Structure 1
Amino acid sequence: MSTTNYIGKPTSRVEGPAKVTGAAKYAAEYNVPDLAYGYVVSSPIAKGKITKIHADEVRAIPGVLQVFSHENVPSLAWFDRSYKDDVAPGGSPFRPLQGAEVKYSQQPVAVVIAETFELARYAASLLRIDYDVAPHDTDLETKRDDGFEPGRGKTGWVPPPKPRGNPNEALKNAVHKVEGEYIHLTQHHNPMEMFASTVEWLGDKKLKIYDKTQGAFNSQQYVTKVFGLSKDDAQVISKYTGGGFGSGLRPQYQLFMAVLASLELKRSVRVSLTRQQMFSFGHRPHTLQYVELGTNADGTLAALHHHALHETSQFEDYTENVVNWSGMLYQCDNVKLTYQLAKLDVYTPQDMRAPGAATGSFALEIAMDEMAYAAGLDPLEFRLRNYAERDQNADKPFSSKKLRECYHEGAAKFGWDKRNPEPRSMRDGNMLVGWGMGGGVWDASIQKCAAKVTLTADGHLNVLSGANDIGTGTYTIITQIAAETLGLPLEAVTFTLGDTTLPEAPLQGGSWTAASVGNAVKETCDKLGEKLLKLAQKMAGSPLKDASYEDVQFVNGQIRLNADPTQAVVIRDVLPASGEKELTVENTMMPNPASQLTHSLHAHNAVFAEVKVDPELGTVHVTRVVNAVAAGRILNPKTARSQVLGSVVWGISMAMMEETVMDHGFGRYMNHNLSEYHVPVCADIHDIEVIFVEEEDDKVNPLGIKGLGEVGLLGVAAAIANAVYHATGKRIRNLPVSIDKLL
């Protein structure tokens, strides 16, 4: 065992110096020999067929190496036509350059390879392509009566539970009722680092691939299956990722094009996407939701109905858990949850931070605010009155749940008790002041993960696992876990990730990385500690001779007896005394399904927001947010706080700014750039307070980790929309909350 040295303490990022000095390299920054450059050509039409590509004109330009399109993609591509990536939904994945058919606007239809990036871009602008245009349909509003219930969804999708109780009868007999439609348009991820793949040609079909991804192993599997390569022929490296938010879970088309070009031209190739092309794959789907609530005379929920309809592509059935959360967040015995998809001529939507839950919680939490007013209750009191002590969806107890404490601690920090409930009753000078709240629930899950640890004779520990770090702090927390487990200083531990030659780790998504990689590394370090103890017991005069692993502690570079810490062996002395140069353990951690069968494993949060609204101009400023989170054991309060701060900023963005606008005449997104797709700047963000509510959970996983990436976003947009209602008396159910909707 070890005593607490590092876990739970605020620790600066171990990779911070590399990032701020530029030593950290991203996918498009690797300078490899004999590098050519690719530029993707995107379709200007939303649906139809390519009739001719005038590629010879472009190939004649000096320095242009090749133009790849469906006309000349070799047969080696799509070697395994049954292949789907790790997070593919049901249906048939989009296969770039595999036919003349155009399925959505901005579909990649060709890639120009040239000696320089500038030449590739210029040549791509000259490429003439003839199309037969077909009628398209990109308007979800036209599909209200044309939705269908999905069949097999993607991994992680759980169909809504069957109705419980008698929701129709309960709604009819309810004392207070509210109903409403809640809408948000398509939203796009827009991480700072754009997608790129640099493929280094090593000869004889051997490739070293630097990819922008949230899962190096998923990219490797994609490449090997599509091109018929062995794993030894396709090493994928992703040491640093400049944000992903879910957009990097699936391999994107620049990876296919870079590998294709490298194999065909037998040289190194880089393909980078533009900001406009970042809008051509994956998005949070445009979603229409209907929520109906009824309460009894005492303000307890009598009935709940939550329905969602969202878009998917013509070729895949993308699914999200949108409505399920409504059946577990509050106590209600009469619940109906329904979910449908509608096929449009768009690319398949993709997981985007807190997929499904961010959408579902925004609708539910605004409806709960409306219901509180209808029942004459304070929104916080209304939630406490309907607090769920048990997960009614699964009919299981929660492994732990500190949401009540989130409500109380968040409200106290915010000063909620000073709130005048009457809309338009609070002012700061001429500004209307509004206070609103919301919250949410997110899965606490864990995946199979492998790790390898090696202790060298000088006392340095090398930790290896092929995980990714998309900026969440994985480098740092895994270093903390390993250092604490074996009682070593942080500087004596080096964690290496993001390479398919390392032990296999899951995709970084779903808030499961800390739990999966953290517990795998802890378990592997414990196994190494047991081996180290056995060697220490063989040392001359060892005070640990008869001790079991449970009898000792690893701390401050020593193995000590719990009963008498003065009886110790210095870790750096063990290997030299044994004659060993190093000690290595490789191990695969398998999740324990027992707790998943008996308990509901979830993290929770409560959000309180203040807005100030100019009554004449309709401008809204989000001036204060308090986010109280119960997410099990917090490994590093510093990086954890940054995670939640980022979530709150995104929640403000979701509430006030983000929408990708489709021109249905052209069937394409019109604001596919960061000048017109609005996200917050520093001037938009004011005071944000993050509270971590203490929560111990011995059932969720050995380290008690629940994950933070998603849960911090939940309820933020709703809390802001509810605050806007409190300030103005105008209920906005269609995000974003914009000036035209208030005036």
Structure 2
Amino acid sequence: MSQTIATPPTVRLDSDVIGKPISRPEGAAKVSGAAKYAAEYNVPNLWYGYIVDSPIAKGKILKIDVDAVLALPGVKQVFTHENVPSFAWFDRSYKDDVAPGGSPFRPLHEPEIMFSQQPVALVVAETFELARYAASILRIDYEVDENFNTDLEKARAAGKGFDAPKGKTGFLPPPKPKGDAEGAFKAAPHQVTGEYTHHAQHHNPMEMFATTVEWLGDGKKMNIYDKTQGAPNVQQYLRKIFSLSKEEARVVSKFTGGAFGAGLRPQHQVFMAVMAALELEHSVRVSMTRQQMFSMGHRPHTIQDIKLASDEQGYLQSLQHTAFAETSQFEDETETVVNWSGILYKCDNSKFGYELAKIDVDTPADMRAPGAATGSFAIECAVDELSYKAGVDPLEFRLLNYTYSDPTENKPFSSKRLIDCYHEGAKRFGWEQRNPEPRSMREGNMLVGWGMGTGCWDASMQKAAAKASLSADGKLTVHSATNDQGAGTYVIMTQIAAQTLGLPLDQVTFVLGDTNLPEAPLQGGSWTAASVGSAVQATCQEVGKKLLKLAQKMDNSPLDGVAFEDVQFADGHMRANEDITKSVAITEVLATSGEAAVEAESSAQPNPINMLKYSMHSHNAAFVEVKVDEDLGTIHVTRVVNAVAAGRILNPKTARSQVLGGTVWGISMALMEEAYLDNNLGRYMNHNYAEYHVPVNADIHKIDVIFVEEEDDHVNPLGVKGVGEIGMLGVAAAIANAVYHATGKRVRDLPLTIDKLL
């Protein structure tokens, strides 16, 4: 495979396709039911597995009585720690691509119980209904260890915190301290000290996790249809555990019904399904229930302490931000929480800290904008508080402390148009009409509040590969093993390929989600457009180079002697830049050459020089209007303007949808989402859709999305930054700040429920 270091594109990319609001080519399949998700593949003679969970938080399995279950006609097997097949090889040192430090959880491997809802058995039967019933009568005796703790605040009070190890990919340790943060704080005339908290939050995508294993009967060959954000990562995990070849463990994930980070790691249902299929030599499907979705990671309960101080004019004099977060007893899950404060604001005296505490819960997991959603809530609320103390408008306060370079790394930003986000967002929102006095704006019995918040997110790129085949009839097919969890991967990759080779969209097909295709990274971190998109562009450029060589072999070729850098592709033709009348149709080139197809495979990866030289981030500014019932304390988010600077926008339609989704999640985080953990039982008590609240249509009103134009030649060949996470940031803080403006009451604990206002 050829390899291409990320450099500016050599083929001209016009605005003909890229930058247009093109609809998703897979849209009809999704709404009609033709699109197959992990639990929908029609595999003949399929058996079903049902997972049994632990009802206790900590202890040990003493006895499992399987006789009554196995006596049921149609029950095929009950898998427990007592009969895990010998071929299921485990290694506590083995980690998947995004595993934190520590020892990964090994399902059905030991009698010890480490968290409530831990999977303890798998019942396999001829029908789903039978498997579910059989699981309900499985008798398991436990020895309960009453000495458990699921309370993060109790762990904090006991001094159980420890510095987070750098064991997780992507985790950045807190920035080093600068100046005299404590001394500057004490000397400053305006000070804010606050504790900001949120409890565990769960992903709850619409599609539940499931795996369908199609047993092919040729040795140990299987097609494994899994819900995941990265088929190659799942394949690597399964190959390691079960000693399988790539041919034996083909993983397919063509469509993913939302995941938001929950699908970055292989979940335990895929292990169980493959284990059962290998042992029984039969096709098996294992699906999680909605309740079981609360047993596989969450946004961690986090407590943040912030101390901010400014001078009389509002310039920051001291910035101190620490976080205390939960992790499991067996892994050290880490998030980048406090660093964002140092990136966003200029302050000569700063101090940061981040600690973990091990409690008896499952390992937390990445959840949309992991760390940043948590950190931005705290710092943006604290900045708002300090702006009031200093008597400076919250927007003006942010402009006073704006930084044009990254203070944490002493690097220039590759690009930063946050100041334009502020100005354009404020203008669209009408911020200049805001009365700064709390409780000064109302409509009848409703108190009206306006607030704002800011966010930034890494503009990352990972190594990715793609291959392309252009057939004689001018049809282009591009392949990569990447994923689409609903972000619009199919359409933007189609646009990139079509634009690079100047082909109509209906002549381009993008194929993804299969480990038989060129390897691609997990879909997460908002890096798919940059990573896979750059690989698609590089691959199509390789096809273009081959086409040019074929064109130059034609008799009286109009492109004879023209360098590839001097050729453009448009309207199905190759043309010389200096004289577009020197042109030849791509189909004519293929017909003349006699080639059935022109193929190429290539990859793209980050430019290491640019990574060392620049700090690369997307930015946003969110402006929010709330209306609070003065008597009842109910909060309604009636208007949001979210201004985003995220480099080049490949498709404003799908990008807007991503920001809309992120904004809705910010509203959800601020007002609704909270997993209620009964620390006496060590169990989440609202593990269902009825009681774990997320917004419905009636909760969402006007959301206005602005994309600020931003060019970036350093971040990647396409100049894109990704929009999956950035749209969520700053929204929860903006709501909390607007609630203060409306009511005069500060709430530093999410969600902002009625009881905290009354």
Distance 2:390 2:141 in 1: 61
Instruction: Show CA shifts across 1:71-107 (max 9, x none).
Output: 1001111255532100000000000000100000000
Where do residues 201-350 of structure 1 align in structure 2 (5 Å cutoff)?
201-203=215-217, 204-350=219-365
Instruction: Show CA shifts across 1:126-161 (max 9, x none).
Output: 001000000210001101122110223210001112
Question: Which position in structure 2 is the counterpart of 1:632?
Answer: 647
Residue type of the alignment partner of 1:147: G
1:4 Cα deviation from its structure 2 partner: 3.0
Instruction: Show CA shifts across 1:345-388 (max 9, x none).
Output: 00000000000000000000000000000000000000000001
- Choose the corresponding residue for 2:211, options 190, 193, 197: 197
1:566 Cα deviation from its structure 2 partner: 2.2
Residue type of the alignment partner of 1:63: G
Question: Which position in structure 1 is the counterpart of 2:627?
Answer: 612
**Contact persistence 1:79–1:228 (CA under 8 A):** no
- Choose the corresponding residue for 1:142, options 149, 154, 170: 154
Secondary structure, counterpart of 1:200 in structure 2: strand
**Contact persistence 2:166–2:172 (CA under 8 A):** no
Deviates more, 1:564-573 or 1:727-736: 564-573
1:551 Cα deviation from its structure 2 partner: 1.7
**Contact persistence 1:81–1:226 (CA under 8 A):** no
**Contact persistence 1:306–1:326 (CA under 8 A):** yes
1:306 Cα deviation from its structure 2 partner: 0.4
Question: Which position in structure 2 is the counterpart of 1:415?
Answer: 430
Distance 1:709 1:170 in 2: 37
Question: Which position in structure 2 is the counterpart of 1:11?
Answer: 22
- Choose the corresponding residue for 1:82, options 90, 93, 104: 93
Question: Which position in structure 1 is the counterpart of 2:65?
Answer: 54
Residue type of the alignment partner of 1:210: Y
Residue type of the alignment partner of 2:746: R
Where do residues 350-389 of structure 1 align in structure 2 (5 Å cutoff)?
350-389=365-404
Where do residues 35-184 of structure 1 align in structure 2 (5 Å cutoff)?
35-135=46-146, 136-144=148-156, 145-184=159-198
Secondary structure, counterpart of 2:560 in structure 1: coil
1:590 Cα deviation from its structure 2 partner: 2.3
Where do residues 516-665 of structure 1 align in structure 2 (5 Å cutoff)?
516-665=531-680
Deviates more, 1:16-25 or 1:232-241: 16-25
Distance 2:98 2:603 in 1: 22
Distance 2:334 2:543 in 1: 42
Distance 1:104 1:482 in 2: 47
Residue type of the alignment partner of 1:175: P
**Contact persistence 2:454–2:621 (CA under 8 A):** yes
Structure 1 runs, 4 residues or longer, greater than 6 Å off: none
Secondary structure, counterpart of 1:566 in structure 2: strand
Distance 2:258 2:529 in 1: 17
Deviates more, 1:347-356 or 1:31-40: 31-40
| 2:721 is equivalent to residue 709 of structure 1 | no
Where do residues 22-37 of structure 1 align in structure 2 (5 Å cutoff)?
22-37=33-48
Distance 1:698 1:186 in 2: 39
- Choose the corresponding residue for 1:721, options 728, 736, 756: 736
Deviates more, 1:572-581 or 1:668-677: 572-581
Distance 1:727 1:391 in 2: 34
Instruction: Show CA shifts across 1:105-130 (max 9, x none).
Output: 00000000000000000000000100
Instruction: Show CA shifts across 1:633-676 (max 9, x none).
Output: 00000000000000000000000000000001110000000100
Where do residues 503-522 of structure 1 align in structure 2 (5 Å cutoff)?
503-522=518-537
**Contact persistence 1:453–1:463 (CA under 8 A):** yes
**Contact persistence 2:90–2:106 (CA under 8 A):** no
TM-score by length of 2: 0.97
**Contact persistence 2:54–2:117 (CA under 8 A):** yes
Secondary structure, counterpart of 1:17 in structure 2: helix
**Contact persistence 2:441–2:742 (CA under 8 A):** yes
Counterparts in 2 of 1:304 and 1:81: CA distance versus 1, 3 Å:
closer
Question: Which position in structure 1 is the counterpart of 2:5?
Answer: none
Question: Which position in structure 1 is the counterpart of 2:6?
Answer: none
Distance 1:666 1:555 in 2: 65
**Contact persistence 1:452–1:503 (CA under 8 A):** yes
- Which ranges of structure 2 fall in alignment gaps of 5 or more residues? 1-10
**Contact persistence 1:80–1:228 (CA under 8 A):** no
Distance 2:320 2:139 in 1: 52
**Contact persistence 2:528–2:722 (CA under 8 A):** yes
1:21 Cα deviation from its structure 2 partner: 1.2
Distance 2:470 2:727 in 1: 37
**Count of aligned positions:** 743
Residue type of the alignment partner of 1:552: V
Percent identity over paired residues:
69
Residue type of the alignment partner of 1:649: V
Residue type of the alignment partner of 1:301: L
Where do residues 463-502 of structure 1 align in structure 2 (5 Å cutoff)?
463-502=478-517
Distance 1:534 1:206 in 2: 41
Distance 1:589 1:727 in 2: 50
1:564 Cα deviation from its structure 2 partner: 2.0
Secondary structure, counterpart of 1:231 in structure 2: coil
Distance 2:503 2:205 in 1: 35
- Which ranges of structure 1 fall in alignment gaps of 5 or more residues? none
Distance 1:583 1:362 in 2: 51
1:270 Cα deviation from its structure 2 partner: 0.1
Residue type of the alignment partner of 2:455: G
Distance 1:552 1:249 in 2: 40
Distance 1:173 1:146 in 2: 32
**Contact persistence 1:411–1:608 (CA under 8 A):** yes
Deviates more, 1:36-45 or 1:296-305: 296-305
Secondary structure, counterpart of 2:375 in structure 1: helix
Secondary structure, counterpart of 2:705 in structure 1: strand
Secondary structure, counterpart of 2:523 in structure 1: coil
Secondary structure, counterpart of 1:85 in structure 2: coil
**Contact persistence 2:261–2:367 (CA under 8 A):** yes
1:541 Cα deviation from its structure 2 partner: 2.1
**Contact persistence 2:92–2:104 (CA under 8 A):** no
Secondary structure, counterpart of 2:674 in structure 1: coil
**Contact persistence 2:531–2:605 (CA under 8 A):** no
Residue type of the alignment partner of 1:274: T
Deviates more, 1:223-232 or 1:40-49: 223-232
Question: Which position in structure 1 is the counterpart of 2:4?
Answer: none
Deviates more, 1:440-449 or 1:547-556: 547-556
TM-score by length of 1: 0.99
Distance 1:49 1:693 in 2: 56
Residue type of the alignment partner of 1:707: G
1:703 Cα deviation from its structure 2 partner: 0.8
Distance 2:717 2:482 in 1: 19
